[in-house]
Amino acid sequence: MTTDSKHPETLVLHGGTYRKDATTNSVAVPIYQTTSYEFDSTEHASNLFALKELGNIYTRIMNPTNAVLEERLAALDGGAAALALSSGSTANTYAIQNLAKAGDNIVSSTDLYGGTWNLFNNTFRNLGIEVRFADPSDPENFRKLTDDKTRAYFGETLPNPKLNLFPIEEVANIGRPLGIPLIVDNTAGPINIRPFDHGAAIITHSLTKWIGGHGTSIGGAIVDGANFDWTAVPERQPLLNEPDGSYHGVEWATAIPQMFGAQLAFIIRARVVVLRDQGGAISPTNSFNLIQGLETLPLRLKQHNENAIKVAEFLKDHKAVSKVIFPKFHEGENKKRTEKYYKNGFGSLVGIELSKGIEAGKAFIDALELHYHVANIGDARSLAIHPASTTHSQLTAEEQLQTGVTPGYVRLSVGLEHPEDIIADLKKGLDAAEKSG
């Protein structure tokens, strides 16, 4: 059974085909902790390998527990199919490698999670894939950096520290007529931001954050909107349109719709070529853990969103704070983008700039008792970090400012504790910040 509902609350519990385990009637999704699956016959095995029949072959490529997670994520995002992977970093890596090879380029937003920045600016460059960085405040910057070898555009829906919403529709509209898909990392905006509604072709997630929510498991996913015509400008997407020597010469973009009646070329190739060859599979146990998180995501997000508004309003009026960075308080073009893309609150990331700079930032963090001082976001617990002395300390002061990190900047990921307790703890930090220096 699969539900017709469009409501996230229902989709996270009933999205996809899983109702109960076929052999035991188990309602909870079983952990299929197996590496392999017995073939019924040589014909069955050969049909599976030739994709003439869909079924389990080997857990590096697919697994029934992972499949439940994949189907529910696809349903939640309004996509057609998904691929669960070992981490959000793997998801971003494979999404790009599924389209770009050495000699090609992609155009990416400058506003990125630091790990993705390193992946793009160093690792991909070393592999011969050039990443050109465009300032997303003007979407036309993506067009300006495009050439014949550009295979994809990339952005993060809600990048910190600036928390400016990415112009999804504007950039998707530039790319589509050119045959260039927009890939968006929606790690910070599940449910709150719906990239497929605005023209994104592919969504990536780090499941490690809000979707898992409990801070127990690293995981990632790619979701395919099946809304992009990979054959429209075939020379633009050679990996999907030219014969693939690693899969008996198949031309994915034309063969897959003929075989499956839907344009699933991207997500199928990601699984049976990129994941098959590079092996960044998620363990079924982590998929199980992440499903536990996913099932309560809509409920948790409501509370995250409410708590963050209360925290941001409190901080805005505090004398130790010179600025609060929170989508609700954006102005000008960024306010318009918040109103266009953010439908259910403003998320639970809040940035503050402490008037007294770097020493105030350190004193603030050291005085916190309830908040965890960790390099993570999206946990059920409230988290805080002072980037200038930690995640961004290897950058020069000028580079820090370019990324939006001022000396007194502190990032908060507002958790699910009672807001009075979160604010009481922040007061301790602010008192220490005021006394510093």
Q: 111 vs 146, which CB is nearer to ligand PLP?
A: 111
> Of 63, 141, 192, 208, which lies in the binding site for ligand PLP, with binding defined by CB under 6 A?
208
The dihedrals phi and psi of 5, each to the nearest 5 degrees, come to -60, 150
Nearer to ligand PLP, 357 or 387 (CB): 387
The owner of tokens 């898992």 is 212
305 forms part of the interface with ligand PLP (CB under 6 A): no
Residue 379 engages ligand PLP in binding (rule: CB under 6 A): no
Shortest distance in whole angstroms from residue 391 CB to ligand PLP = 10
Kindly state whether residue 115 participates in binding ligand PLP, applying the rule CB under 6 A. yes
Residue whose CB is less far from ligand PLP, 109 or 116: 116
- Say whether residue 187 binds ligand PLP (CB under 6 A): yes
Mention every residue, 6+ apart, whose C-beta is less than 8 A from residue 353: 321, 322, 323, 324, 325, 406, 408, 409, 410
DSSP codes of every residue in 164-216: PPP-HHHHHHHHGGGT-PEEEE-TT-TTT--GGGGT-SEEEEETTTTTT-SS-
What is the distance of C-alpha 208 from the center of its chain? 9
Segment lying near ligand PLP (by CB under 6 A), choices 32-40, 83-91, 161-169, 428-436:
83-91
Q: Minimal distance in Å, beta carbon 153 to ligand PLP?
A: 16
Ranked by CB distance to ligand PLP, the top (closest) residue is: 88
Q: Which residues contact 153 (CB under 8 A, 6 or more apart)?
A: 106, 107, 108, 142, 171, 172, 174, 175, 180, 181, 182, 183
**DSSP label of 124:** I
Residue window 147-186: x/- pattern of binding to ligand PLP, with contact defined by CB under 6 A = ---------x----------------------------x-
What pairing do the DSSP bridges indicate for beta strands 182-185 and 150-156? Answer: parallel
Q: Is 283 in the site for ligand PLP (CB under 6 A)?
A: no
How many Å apart are CA 220 and CA 211, to the nearest integer?
A: 10
- Note whether 287 binds ligand PLP by CB under 6 A: no
Asked if 113 touches ligand PLP (CB under 6 A), the answer is yes
What's the closest the beta carbon of residue 90 comes to ligand PLP, in angstroms? 7
Of the candidates 88, 357, 407, 429, which one interacts with ligand PLP according to CB under 6 A?
Answer: 88
**x/- letters, 219..248, toward ligand PLP (CB under 6 A):** -x----------------------------
Least distance to ligand PLP, CB of residue 187, Å: 4
How far apart CA 334 and CA 339 sit, in angstroms, is 9
Q: Please, are residues 234 and 241 in contact by the beta-carbon 8 Å criterion?
A: yes
Q: How far is the CB of 405 from ligand PLP (least distance, A)?
A: 15
Which value, to the nearest 10 degrees, does the dihedral of the CA atoms of residues 48, 52, 55, 60 take? Answer: 50
Count of C-beta atoms within a 10 Å radius of residue 40: 11
Peptide bond into 161 cis (omega under 30): yes
Closer Cβ to ligand PLP, 236 or 392, answer by number: 392
Indicate whether 289 belongs to the interface with ligand PLP (CB under 6 A).
Answer: no
Comparison of 175 and 220: residue with beta carbon closer to ligand PLP: 220
Shortest gap between Cβ of 160 and ligand PLP (angstroms)? Answer: 8
User: Residue 261 Cβ, how far from ligand PLP at the closest point, in Å?
Assistant: 32
Cβ–Cβ < 8 Å for 201, 183: yes
Map residue 40 onto helix, strand or coil.
coil
Tell me the site size for ligand PLP, rule CB under 6 A: 14
Strands in 105-109's sheet, in edge-to-edge order, are: 81-85, 220-224, 202-206, 182-185, 150-156, 105-109, 130-134
By beta-carbon proximity to ligand PLP, the closer residue of 66 and 206 is 206
User: What is the token pair recorded at 251?
Assistant: 């031309």
Three-class secondary structure assignment of 228-279: CCCCCCHHHCHHHHCCEHHHCCECHHHHHHHHHCCCCHHHHHHHHHHHHHHC
Candidates 3-11, 12-20, 21-29, 111-119; binding stretch for ligand PLP (CB under 6 A)? 111-119
Minimum gap (Å) between residue 279 Cβ and ligand PLP: 16
As a whole number of angstroms, the distance between CA 106 and CA 96 comes to 8
Binding to ligand PLP by residue 89, rule CB under 6 A?
A: yes
Residues forming contacts to ligand PLP in the complex (CB under 6 A) are 87-89, 113, 115-116, 156, 185, 187-188, 206, 208, 218, 220
